[in-house]
Amino acid sequence: MVSEQELKEYCLLLRTENISIDDFRAWVVKSGIELKGDVTRGDFLKLKNGSVTQVLKILSKLVTSCDRCAGVYNQKVFSSRSEFENCLSAIEKACSQGVFNSISKPSWFDTLDKVKFGVEDYYMCDNCHSQWCIVFPEKEFNGEWERIS
């Protein structure tokens, strides 16, 4: 059985590209991750066979972020431009306090699973290494804030 700590370690290795998706898949098969309440059969198959983006999305559900970064702003699609502005201000404040570091778009991250309309900025939590994305407003779309890994 895999401990949450071991899962976190492999998640971090994959996030930071210290192991390949193939190495991660081999570890999933070898470690015999058990299908518990948190891991559906579909999620397990994605862990074994999915893209890096799919794997990290599942791992983001299984391995929680820390209170520092999760508390910056609620993940959501914004219902107004003012909500976007409030989130952006909270992110800027978090960056100045050392919670987040601005990062380049992760090479593994693709947005093919959903349509994104605006420019995107990416951040990594300095504590738990969770990665976050803010999508800027464009036309009718008011933007979005989400944890991507």
DSSP state of 122: E
More confident residue, 5 or 30: 30
More confident residue, 103 or 45: 103
In the structure, what pLDDT confidence band is assigned to residue 116 with cuts at 50, 70 and 90?
Answer: low
Amino acid identity, position 5: Q
Q: Mean pLDDT of all residues in the chain? A: 84
DSSP state of 75: -
Least confident span in 4-8, 13-17, 123-127: 4-8
- Residue 55's φ and ψ, nearest 5 degrees, are -60, -45
b/e 40-53 (16+ beta carbons within 10 angstroms → b) = eeebbebbeebebb
| Burial environment of residue 121 by CB neighbours within 10 A (0 to 12, 13 to 18, 19 or more) | middle
Contact call for residues 56 and 25 (beta carbons, < 8 A): no
Q: Are strands 76-77 and 131-135 parallel, antiparallel or unpaired?
A: unpaired
Please compute the mean of the pLDDT values over residues 79-83 and round it to a whole number: 97
- Per-residue pLDDT of 15-32, as tens digits, reads 778 888 888 888 888 877
pTM of the model: 0.77
pLDDT of residue 149: 83
Indicate whether 38 pLDDT > 80: no
Rounded Cα distance, 140 and 34, in Å: 43
Indicate whether 37 pLDDT > 70: no
- Per-residue pLDDT of 49-58, as tens digits, reads 888 888 887 8
Rounded Cα distance, 25 and 44, in Å: 10
C-alpha neighbours within 13 Å on the C-beta side of residue 135: 21
pLDDT of residue 54: 83
